Structure 1
């Protein structure tokens, strides 16, 4: 018997798993403003979000952080944000349901059908600068040729070349702004 829900199946060798993140920091000039780090692919003249393929044995979360660091040069970590999820709490067996919680789950997954090459699945996360925020040179792989730049968040959305990247960044920005607003409200009420 077939499932009543439409499904696509890809066997090993017919898909690639990748991950990336929308990397945020507060503007050094105005800490009230957020910036997003974009990468510029020189050869194709494209503005992109950092992402790349998962290595064997690597978690998807680690892939997102590693690829973001490699392509931008900025050490980063996943940012716990208040976001919608259907993932249950650790060790809790509950009915599948939508809820909002502070977590570091993916904010979206894109699946690209690549014809004879199968499918490319990309898990997208929200990350933030880690440590002193200094850029490290020489982190890109030999085949990569990116420039990375932090840009005002609203401007970054329009600068991205592809609509898919624009949608991912817009969703991340909305989640981060909502989380920061709630954190600010909680901090002011506790004073």
Structure 2
């Protein structure tokens, strides 16, 4: 039996959790939304766990609404990724390729939890739907102060 040349780790379903979040911008005012967790005095970006059967994109939009109170949309970006294009016209090597106008996570964060458990956090870029009203949302039980930081 051949042995892989790559280091690898495997986690059964009870040992990992998958979360999705986004950096949320209000484009018209050049602002970014951050959450202030009052009970920990910590500033964070909105994110949360993916439900069974839910797509990552749907999770991101739902969690942003629940945690920030803002209706939003995920932005299509020009970026490099190792994922193949939606329509493969040729066999590409396992290397990054540049695409325009794709809606994909720009970052994957691996957070090691207690011994043997991990959290995968997929990050997107999103924009506030400015024609929609603000919704208090639920905060998963956390005391949250929503804030907007002005970008320069």
**How many aligned residue pairs are there?**
148
Give the equivalent residue in structure 2 for 1:113. 112
Over 3 Å off, 4+ runs: none
Q: CA deviation at 1:131?
A: 4.5
Using structure 2 for the length normalisation, give the TM-score. 0.89
Residues 153/7 of structure 1: CA separation in 2 closer, same or farther (3 Å cut): farther
**2:27–2:127 Cα contact (<8 Å) kept:** no
Give the equivalent residue in structure 2 for 1:22. 23
Q: State the SS of the aligned residue for 1:61.
A: helix
Give the equivalent residue in structure 2 for 1:161. none
Residues 24/133 of structure 1: CA separation in 2 closer, same or farther (3 Å cut): farther
Q: Unaligned stretches of 5+ in structure 1? A: 29-33, 155-191
Q: Unaligned stretches of 5+ in structure 2? A: none
Structure 2 residue 73 is matched with structure 1 residue 97? no
Give the equivalent residue in structure 2 for 1:9. 10
Give the equivalent residue in structure 2 for 1:151. 149
Q: CA deviation at 1:9?
A: 0.6
Distance 1:85 1:142 in 2: 32
Q: RMSD across aligned C-alpha pairs, in angstroms?
A: 1.7
Q: CA deviation at 1:22?
A: 0.2
Give the equivalent residue in structure 1 for 2:32. 36
Q: State the SS of the aligned residue for 1:13.
A: helix
Distance 2:76 2:134 in 1: 22
Residues 41/65 of structure 1: CA separation in 2 closer, same or farther (3 Å cut): same
For 1:10-48, what per-residue CA distance to the aligned partner results, in whole angstroms no more than 9, with x for missing partners? 0110100001000011254xxxxx211000101111111
1:1-191 to 2 correspondences below 5 Å: 1-28=2-29, 34-92=30-88, 94-95=91-92, 96-101=94-99, 102-116=101-115, 118-137=117-136, 139-153=137-151
Distance 1:42 1:141 in 2: 12
Q: Specify which structure has the bigger relative contact order, considering alpha-carbon pairs within 8 angstroms and separated by 6 or more residues.
A: 2
Q: CA deviation at 1:91?
A: 2.8
Using structure 1 for the length normalisation, give the TM-score. 0.72
Residues 142/16 of structure 1: CA separation in 2 closer, same or farther (3 Å cut): closer
Q: CA deviation at 1:142?
A: 4.9
